[in-house]
Amino acid sequence: MAARNRGETGQALPTPFYPSLERAGIRFWRSQLVLIVGPGGSGKSVFISNLVAKWERPTLAFLLDQDSATAASRFAATKIDQPFLSLKSDLDDVDTKAVLASMDYVQTDFKSESLEDIQLQLDAYIERYGVPPEIIIVDNLGNMTSGYDDEWSTLKALTLELDIMARKYECLVLCAHHTSDQPVPDGKPMERSKILGKITQYPRVVISVNNNGFTNEFASAAVKNSSGPQDPSANEPVMFESNLANMQIREQEGSFSPAAEYLASFRMKGQASE
């Protein structure tokens, strides 16, 4: 009965454009809450923008630490691989306007300060289009909670409500969140214990990212992964090539993914539990 009535619940948003994520067992599922975490400037927003641009699915994006011009230039840069600051200086350029028009599957909001604000915008989206978006973006959670006296409890409650929202509307809720800003050697992603507020209870997947500006390497590790291998210490990250100025995160030739024996061990555990 549950399988027949599930609707879009549990449907994967495929990432064939990043096959190393697929090989590493990192998946994005509708009806789930997923966090992209990292220190400031680590490329969280760039990674999310690349996913949204490549998925090309109906998306409601709450970009709470950007202005509309910055967001538009960043989304355009993901498509045409040009410096987003140059694009920002002339958003009326014919080619830039054409690219942005082709991304009309993304609806943006820049001012939501509470869960009630998100719900109002979601209700308006459903009234306009007749169905919920497939993806909801919140970038980032700290912009919604930093003003509260008990920020960590508020963060925990917010992630619970966003998890409920993902299941209710059968959409992927993808949020950016900060880790501590302590120095990390060679651009290694932060381990799970460094996530601010320790809010890993409700997200089904938590991907820690970091960028090495000297080598242009972007590293991602599933520090929590309810449906696949996880790497809580971020010791075996999946590596990409990056150009953050152009908002590009590309598959790296011969990209590294978690050791084959580790993945095989995980699969054997799954078979044993069936």
Of 12-21, 66-75, 141-150, 251-260, least confident by mean pLDDT is 251-260
**Domains identified in the chain, total number:** 1
In a domain, 3, yes or no: no
In the prediction, which pLDDT does 227 show?
A: 86
pLDDT over 60 (residue 4):
no
In the prediction, which pLDDT does 6 show?
A: 46
Residue-wise pLDDT tens digits, 59-110? 999 999 899 999 999 999 999 999 999 999 999 999 999 999 999 999 999 9
Strand partners, 106: 59
**Among all chains, which residue has been given the structure tokens 């061990």?**
265
H or E, element range at 169: helix 151-169
In a domain, 2, yes or no: no
Q: Nearest CA to 170 among 5, 7, 2, 1?
A: 7
Residue-wise pLDDT tens digits, 198-243? 999 999 999 999 999 889 999 999 999 998 899 999 999 999 999 9
| Domain extent for 80 | 12-273
In a domain, 7, yes or no: no
CATH of the domain at 95: 3.40.50.300
With H, G, I as helix, E, B as strand and everything else as coil, classify residue 240: strand
In the prediction, which pLDDT does 152 show?
A: 85
CA distance linking residue 243 with residue 232, whole number of Å: 26
Q: What is the CA radius of gyration of the chain?
A: 18
